[in-house]
Amino acid sequence: MKKNIPTIKAIALQLNISVSTVSKALNNHPAIGEQTREKVRQLAAAMHYVPNQTAIHFKSGKTHTIGVILPQLTDHFFTKALSGAEHYALQHTYNVISGQSYNHLQREKELVGFMQRSRVDGLIIALTSETESRDHLLPLEAWGIPIVYLMRTPPIKECHYVTVDVFDGAHQAVRMLLNRGHRRIAHLNGPEMLLTSRERQAGYLHALQQHQLPADPDLICHTTLSPESTRACMAQLMALPDTPTAILGFKDLVVLEAMQYVKNNAAGRRGPVDFIGFGNHEFLQFLDTPPTASIEENPFLLGSKAMEVLIQLISGGEAQRYQQVRMPCKLVNYK
Amino acid sequence: MKKNIPTIKAIALQLNISVSTVSKALNNHPAIGEQTREKVRQLAAAMHYVPNQTAIHFKSGKTHTIGVILPQLTDHFFTKALSGAEHYALQHTYNVISGQSYNHLQREKELVGFMQRSRVDGLIIALTSETESRDHLLPLEAWGIPIVYLMRTPPIKECHYVTVDVFDGAHQAVRMLLNRGHRRIAHLNGPEMLLTSRERQAGYLHALQQHQLPADPDLICHTTLSPESTRACMAQLMALPDTPTAILGFKDLVVLEAMQYVKNNAAGRRGPVDFIGFGNHEFLQFLDTPPTASIEENPFLLGSKAMEVLIQLISGGEAQRYQQVRMPCKLVNYK
DNA sequence: TTGTAGGCGTTATCAA
DNA sequence: TTGATAACGCCTACAA
C-alpha cells in the first residue's frame, strides 16, 4: 500500500497555475480572482486535499498544539480533567496530544521528550508520584514553552499550577465527622510524597485543632493506593487499642476498599462507621451502603481551567507572574 | 515569552562545522570521526538540543504516529482499549495521538480531519453511534492510510476490524440464565444502530432458540445508554403482564441502573432477580448485591490487538486481505 | 491578479 | 572524514 497524498503542487500542476496562487486561493487571500479561487477550491475538494499540518507546523514554528501528560486515564479524575482540557482547547482552536505516564518517572520523561520533539506550544502535566525533581522539564521552560501543573505540582513555589483546594475539602469533611460526634478520626491518606496528600493532611489537622483535639499520629497512615497497601493500613488502624470510629480517605476507591476491609475483617468488633473520601464517583449511587459523604472536585472544570491558564500564558506575550489557582470542592452527603 | 529552541544549525555555528556533519554525528553515521562525534554530542546535550520532529516528519513523509479515535474515555472500556493500543505502539516505537468523539458525528469528522492533517500513518477508530456512513474516512483509505475499526465497526464487510465476540458472550450469559431456570429473559440492549448491539442480540436469540424457547419481542428493548432511556426501558418491561425474571444488559452500568430501578419501583411486586451485563467493571466487587454475573471483555488486549493489526498493515507492504479479529470473552460469576 | 524565490529543520546524495 | 546542495510542503514578501 503506497501512500498517495495530494499536495498543493499537484493542484497547481493540474490547473497549470503556480503553487503560490493555489496556496493563496485556499487561504482566502484577497489578491486572488474569484474565478481562480473557485477553480482551485473545487479541484482541491475533488482531490480530497487536506493541508499537511506537519509542513505548516514546521514552517510556522507554531504547532497550535498542547501536550497533556497524566498519570493514568483509568482514574476518572484524570479522564475528566483531560476532557475539560480538550474541551477548552477545541473552543480556542488548539489541538491536544496526550499521554499516560502510568505513574512511572521513566515513562514521564519519555513523554516529555515526545512533547518536546512534537514542539507543543505548551504543556499541562500531573506529575507521577515518583517524580521528585523537575529537571526533565527545565529545558521546556528554557525554550519558552509554558508549563501548567495540574493537581500534582512540584514542591516549589515558582510555577504555574491549577489544583483543587483539598485542604478545604479535608477540612469540611473532618468538621462534618466531628459534628457527627466522632473523636477518633483516622486519615487514610495517599502517598506522602504527593503535595496533594500533604494538603489533605493539613486540612485534616487544622479541623482537629480548631476543635481542640490532639492529633494522634497512629491515626494517620499512607497507602500507596494499591489495594494491598490500603488493606495493610486498615489492619494497622484496626489493631489500635482505641480503634478509629471514622475515616477520611484519599479518594473514593480507597474508601471503598477500607469499607470492604471492615466488613470482611471486623465482624462484631468495633470499627469505623463513617467514611468520607475524595471524588464523588458516580458509582457511589449504586451502593446499598455508600460512604457517609464524598468530596466532589469537579475535575472537568479543573482541566478546563488549566487549559485556560496555559493558553493565556502562550498568547499573553511577556513573562507573567506565576498563575496559581485553587478550585473549590464540595462535600456531598450520602446519609 | 519568546521561544528560543536550539537547532542543528546553532550547534554547527558554534562548533564552526557544517550542518550536515552535525546531523550525521547525532545520528551515529559511520562516516564521522570519533572526536567530532563527541564534540557534537556534548554540545547538543549541553544545549538541551531535541530534534524537531515536525521537521523530520515533514521531510520523511512518515510520522510514525497512529491516530486513535474513541467515543469517550469516561467509559472504562475505551480507556483500557486506548491503554492497550498505546502499550503496543510504544513497544514498536510508534506514537499515539488520540481524541474523543463524544459520540458526535460532527466531532468525529473533525478528529478525522485532524488526524489527516497530522498525517498519521494509520488510524484506529471506534465509530460513534451516530455514524452511518464512512464517507469521511474514505479519503484516508484512498491515501493508503490503513484503518482498523475497533468494536464499533461500519456495516460492511470490506474493512479491517478487531472486536469482542459479543455474540458468544451474550450466548454464554443467556445459557447461564436458562440453566438457572429462567424462561422470561429480557434483553436490555444498546442502540439498535450499533453492530455490537445486533451481535449481542443474535447471541441472545441463538441461545433461546437452542433451548426451543420462542423469542418474545416485548422482552427486547434498546436504551440509548442514557439513564433516562434505560429507566424508560425498564418501565416498559415491568409493565408487561408477564414480567421478565432475568435481564441481559448492554453493559454493567446499564445493569446497575436497571437493578436500581427495580429496587426503587418494584417493591413487593414480581421483578427480575438475575442480571448479567457486559464489562466486568471493577466496581462490581464493592456492591453488596452485585449482578449475577458479568461478561469480561479484556479491552486492553483488544486495543493492543488492534494496534498490532494496524502496524502490521502499515509495515506489511502490499495490500493484504481484510483483517478481522474477534476476541473471546468470559463469563464471570458473582453469585 | 498572478508568479518567483527564499526559507523553516532535517537528512540524503554527492563532491571535495 | 567532512561539506555543499537539494529536497520535503507550505507560506509570504516582493516582483512582474
The arithmetic mean of pLDDT across residues A15-28, rounded, is 90
pLDDT single digits (tens) A115-124: 998 899 999 9
Confidence check: pLDDT of A58 > 60: yes
Q: Taking CA B143 as the corner, what is the angle to CA B137 and CA B147, rounded to the nearest 5 degrees?
A: 45
Confidence check: pLDDT of A167 > 70: yes
CA B119 – CA A49 distance, rounded (Å) = 12
Q: Do B117 and B143 touch, CB atoms closer than 8 A?
A: no
Confidence check: pLDDT of A222 > 70: yes
The arithmetic mean of pLDDT across residues B231-243, rounded, is 94
Predicted pLDDT of residue B321: 87
Q: Which of residues 49-78 of A touch strand D (CB under 7 A)?
A: 51-52, 55-56, 58-60
pLDDT single digits (tens) A92-108: 988 899 999 999 999 99
Helix (H), strand (E), coil (C) string for B108-122? HHHHHHHHHHCCCCE
CA A66 – CA B112 distance, rounded (Å) = 18
CA B24 – CA B29 distance, rounded (Å) = 5
Q: Taking CA A217 as the corner, what is the angle to CA A215 and CA A218, rounded to the nearest 5 degrees?
A: 120
CA A185 – CA A221 distance, rounded (Å) = 12
Q: pLDDT grade, residue A318 (50/70/90)? A: low
Q: Do A305 and A140 touch, CB atoms closer than 8 A?
A: no
Predicted pLDDT of residue B193: 85
The arithmetic mean of pLDDT across residues A34-57, rounded, is 89
The arithmetic mean of pLDDT across residues B162-184, rounded, is 96
Q: Is the CB of B157 under 7 A from strand D?
A: no
Q: Please report where in the chains the cell 520533539 appears, as a residue.
A: A117
Confidence check: pLDDT of B183 > 90: yes
Q: How many CB atoms lie within 10 A of CB B224?
A: 16
The arithmetic mean of pLDDT across residues A2-29, rounded, is 87
The arithmetic mean of pLDDT across residues A59-72, rounded, is 91
Q: Do A221 and A186 touch, CB atoms closer than 8 A?
A: yes
Q: pLDDT grade, residue A187 (50/70/90)? A: very high
Buried b (16+ CB within 10 A) or exposed e, B151-162: bbbbeeeebbbb
CA A331 – CA A325 distance, rounded (Å) = 20
Confidence check: pLDDT of A22 > 70: yes
pLDDT single digits (tens) B272-300: 899 999 999 999 999 989 999 999 999 99
CA B186 – CA A168 distance, rounded (Å) = 47
CA B194 – CA B186 distance, rounded (Å) = 19
* Cβ < 7 Å from nucleic strand C: A 17-21, 24, 31-33, 35-36, 58-59, 61; B 5, 7-9, 19-20, 23, 26-27, 51-52, 55-56, 58-60
Q: 3-class SS at A274?
A: strand
Predicted pLDDT of residue A270: 77
Rounded to 10 degrees, the C-alpha dihedral B113/B119/B125/B128 comes to 0
Predicted pLDDT of residue A267: 65
- Chain A, residues 75-94, CB within 8 A of chain B, namely 76, 79-80, 82-83, 86
The arithmetic mean of pLDDT across residues A245-257, rounded, is 97
Give chain B's mean pLDDT. 91
- % of chain B beyond a pLDDT of 90: 71
Grid coordinates belonging to A331? 462535600
Task: Test A143 with B5 for CB contact under 8 angstroms.
Answer: yes
CA A187 – CA A169 distance, rounded (Å) = 13
What are the angstrom distances between the C-alpha of B210 and each of B186, B205, B207? 16, 9, 5
Strand D, nucleotides covered by protein (CB < 7 Å): 1-5, 7-13
- % of chain A beyond a pLDDT of 90: 66
Q: How far is CA A296 from the centre of its chain?
A: 15
Grid coordinates belonging to B160? 479491517
pLDDT single digits (tens) B68-120: 999 999 899 999 999 999 999 988 988 899 999 999 999 999 999 989 999 99
Q: Do B277 and B294 touch, CB atoms closer than 8 A?
A: yes
Predicted pLDDT of residue A319: 59
Name A293's bridge partners: A276, A333
Buried b (16+ CB within 10 A) or exposed e, B247-273: bbbbbbbbbbbbbbbbeeeeeeeebbe
pTM, two decimals, is: 0.90
CA B118 – CA B195 distance, rounded (Å) = 29
Task: Test A117 with B74 for CB contact under 8 angstroms.
Answer: no
| DSSP secondary structure letters along A182-213 | -S-EEEEE--TT-HHHHHHHHHHHHHHHHTTP
Predicted pLDDT of residue B33: 86
Which has more confidence, B202 or B4?
B202
Predicted pLDDT of residue B130: 83
- Spanning CA of B19 to C1' of D4, the rounded length in angstroms is 10
Task: Tell me which protein residue sits closest to nucleotide D5, measuring alpha carbon to C1'.
Answer: B20
pLDDT single digits (tens) A266-313: 666 778 899 999 999 999 999 989 999 999 999 999 999 999 999 999
CA B180 – CA B199 distance, rounded (Å) = 23
pLDDT single digits (tens) A132-162: 888 899 888 888 899 999 998 887 888 999 9
Grid coordinates belonging to B65? 504516529
Q: Which helix (H) or strand (E) holds A304?
A: helix A299-315
Q: Which residues neighbour A167 within 8 Å (Cβ) at sequence distance 6 or greater?
A: A199, A200, A202, A203, A206
Q: Give A266 to chain B, closest Cα distance, Å.
A: 16
Predicted pLDDT of residue A316: 76
Q: pLDDT grade, residue B152 (50/70/90)? A: confident
Q: pLDDT grade, residue B220 (50/70/90)? A: very high
Predicted pLDDT of residue A186: 97
Q: pLDDT grade, residue B232 (50/70/90)? A: very high
Predicted pLDDT of residue B129: 81
Q: Which helix (H) or strand (E) holds A81?
A: helix A76-91
| DSSP secondary structure letters along A105-164 | HHHHHHHHHHHHHTT-SEEEE---TT----GGGHHHHHHT--EEEESS--SSSSSEEEEE
Range from A113-117, A305-309, A313-317, B141-145 carrying the lowest mean pLDDT: A313-317
CA B41 – CA B36 distance, rounded (Å) = 8
CA A254 – CA A236 distance, rounded (Å) = 15
| φ/ψ (deg, to 5) at A104 | -110, 130
Give chain A's mean pLDDT. 91
Residue A53 at interface with chain B, using a CB cutoff of 8 Å: yes
Q: Do A252 and A297 touch, CB atoms closer than 8 A?
A: no
Q: Which residues neighbour B20 within 8 Å (Cβ) at sequence distance 6 or greater?
A: none
pLDDT single digits (tens) B192-204: 988 899 999 999 9
Range from A262-266, A314-318, B44-48, B170-174 carrying the lowest mean pLDDT: A314-318
Residue A7 at interface with chain B, using a CB cutoff of 8 Å: no
Q: Which residues neighbour A224 within 8 Å (Cβ) at sequence distance 6 or greater?
A: A191
Task: Test B145 with A63 for CB contact under 8 angstroms.
Answer: no
Predicted pLDDT of residue A296: 97
pLDDT single digits (tens) B154-168: 878 889 999 999 999
Confidence check: pLDDT of B268 > 70: no
CA A127 – CA A136 distance, rounded (Å) = 11
Which has more confidence, B312 or B3?
B312
